[in-house]
């Protein structure tokens, strides 16, 4: 498992303190949580999407539905 904002490996559930933008939900993920690869990210006025070449696309709409 990888941190979606730094790409660092998450060990035993321990994660670095996220930045203010991440905590407010203003920053899209930049790294795939499954493989740690850098993703292609597109930010629009109404949301964002991020695509991993191996694991597909995630978008802000899908995240908000959780």
Mean pLDDT by 10 residues, the chain (66 residues): 88 78 86 95 92 93 67
pLDDT of residue 27: 87
pLDDT of residue 63: 67
Phi, psi torsion values for 53, nearest 5 degrees: -65, -20
Q: How high is the mean pLDDT of the chain?
A: 87
User: Domains of the chain: which residue ranges?
Assistant: 1-66
pLDDT of residue 41: 97
Question: What does each C-alpha distance from 66 to 22, 25, 60, 61 come to in angstroms?
Answer: 17, 13, 10, 9
pLDDT of residue 30: 95
pLDDT of residue 36: 94
């Amino acid at each position: 498992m990888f941190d979606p904002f730094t790409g660092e490996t998450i060990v035993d559930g321990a994660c670095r303190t996220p930045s203010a933008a991440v905590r407010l939900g203003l920053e899209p993920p930049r790294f795939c949580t499954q493989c740690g690869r850098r993703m292609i990210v597109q930010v629009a006025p109404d949301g964002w999407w991020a695509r991993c070449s191996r694991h597909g696309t995630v978008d802000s709409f899908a995240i908000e539905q959780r």
